[in-house]
Amino acid sequence: MMIVSLLLVVLAVLGAPLFAIIATSAMVGFYNNETELMTIALELLSISQMPILTAIPLFTFAGYLLSESDAPKRLVRLTSAMFGWMPGGLALVCLAACAFFTAFTGASGVTIIALGAILYPALKQDGYDDKFNLGLVTSSGSLGLLFAPSLPLILYGVVAEVSIDDLFRAGILPGMVMLVMLSGYAIWVNRHNRKPISTFSLREVGAALREAVWELPLPIVVLGGIYSGFFAVSEAAAITAMYVFIVEVLINREIPLRELPRVVRESMMLVGGILMILGVSLASTYYMIDTEVPQKLFALVAELVSSQTTFLILLLLFLLVLGAILDIFSAIVLVVPLILPIAAGFGVDPVHLGIVFLAAMQLGYLTPPVGLNLFIASYRFEKPIMHVYLATFPFLVILMLSVILIAFWPWLSLVFLSAS
């Protein structure tokens, strides 16, 4: 068993597909436990019976359509017209636009590629320091993961079996805390840069609103419908996908019909990878529950940890390391089933745990040595990776402080749940 485990670790390091590693470990576990291997196939089949899973491909498809259209340019123009006149206004534009875009695409790398090409040159042209520009755009790419209809929020809800509507509500204030803290830092750093990118103009605001007239109802209808309980998350996903398709393909005609198969293929490749990992991870979770792994882990942790505060500190340190070596989707399906019962033993609400988990994992996109956003920014803006590390470090510190605040002030996550 030890030899097989070491072999799987070596294969994972060498780049073997994650689903193959998880499936093999589950098969070995079931075989040693004399459990039918058919269980893995049954767990793969079981994900098709989860109604909420339809939201994942639909939201992903909508996000890819938005990124392929000129919607990012319209979003930047609108936020510039509304906030660009303020000191440090373009930095606020960057944060707000990236948070909105990441919430709908669910992928911070897509945000850096789609919006970075617009915002990075604009920041440089307006006289912002190049190091600040690079750090801002890179760190802004991960904002929005706590806002509906973020894909990681939906996936956590599926894995942890908690209400996705509750998760959407719980992410509002913590997401705003991260956004406000970064905005405050951006304004303070650029307090001597008093040159606004433009004077405030109602005419420009009106023109930007008219240009984005078809995209504006999207967050209002979708999020308003979810938060009010008018329709379920899966219904919201269907409405979003259909609406974005009609607007970007049929009305604005920014995505030719001949390009549609490529967009569908690229978006579904991401979805297929997530669902494959989710399926085999459910089988692995079944094995761990059957062999009482969570109970044994809780007993071990309980011997070393005596309070909820200590547990949360250790959890944040663990997630910081985990986020640097594992992508957020894999971490959700692999780690959440293990820490969920342990957190429950220390009285941590599962919804609050989800927000803390995603907020902390968000830092992994910016954590050396393998933070994904660091490499995407290095490639996209043609900067040495060490230069990107140094540029993002102040933003990483601000985000760390915000995660600590979120973790130890559960009211931020739970206030809208108690009110609903």
Buried-state track 363-374, b at ≥16 Cβ within 10 A, e below 16: bbbbbeeebbbb
Phi and psi torsions of 17, nearest 5°: -55, 135
Whether residue 159 is contained in a domain is answered as yes
Tokens of 210: 């008219």
Alpha carbon 397 to chain centroid, angstroms: 19
Domain of residue 360 covers 40-419
Decide: residue 252, CB within 10 A, 0-12 exposed, 13-18 middle, 19+ buried: middle
The predicted pLDDT at position 362 comes to 85
DSSP state of 248: I
Whether residue 26 is contained in a domain is answered as no
Kindly report the number of other CB atoms within 10 A of residue 333's CB atom. Answer: 24
How far apart are the C-alpha atoms of 149 and 56, rounded to whole Å?
10
| Full pLDDT tens readout for the chain, 420 residues | 567 767 876 776 666 666 677 777 777 777 777 777 777 777 667 666 666 677 778 888 887 888 788 887 787 788 778 876 776 777 887 888 888 878 877 666 667 776 777 788 878 777 788 899 899 888 887 788 888 888 889 889 988 889 888 998 999 999 999 999 999 998 888 777 655 555 777 888 888 889 888 888 887 777 777 777 777 778 888 888 899 899 989 998 889 989 999 989 988 887 777 777 777 766 776 666 667 666 676 677 777 787 889 889 988 988 887 877 677 877 888 788 888 888 988 899 999 999 999 999 888 878 876 677 887 788 778 888 888 889 999 999 999 999 999 999 999 999 988 555
Count of domains observed in the chain: 1
The predicted pLDDT at position 10 comes to 74
The predicted pLDDT at position 289 comes to 66
Tokens of 110: 């897509």
The predicted pLDDT at position 182 comes to 92
Reference 284, options 83, 14, 20; nearest CA is: 20
Whether residue 307 is contained in a domain is answered as yes
Contacts of 9 (CB under 8 A, 6+ apart): none
Strand, helix or coil for residue 191: coil
Whether residue 274 is contained in a domain is answered as yes
Buried-state track 40-74, b at ≥16 Cβ within 10 A, e below 16: beebbeeeeeeebbebbbbbbbbbbbbbbbbbbeb
Whether residue 18 is contained in a domain is answered as no
Q: Find the helix or strand (DSSP H, E) in which 393 lies.
A: helix 385-408
How far apart are the C-alpha atoms of 359 and 323, rounded to whole Å?
10
Contacts of 307 (CB under 8 A, 6+ apart): 346
Q: Find the helix or strand (DSSP H, E) in which 233 lies.
A: helix 233-245
Whether residue 81 is contained in a domain is answered as yes
The predicted pLDDT at position 52 comes to 66
Whether residue 64 is contained in a domain is answered as yes
Whether residue 182 is contained in a domain is answered as yes
Q: Please, are residues 144 and 223 in contact by the beta-carbon 8 Å criterion? A: no
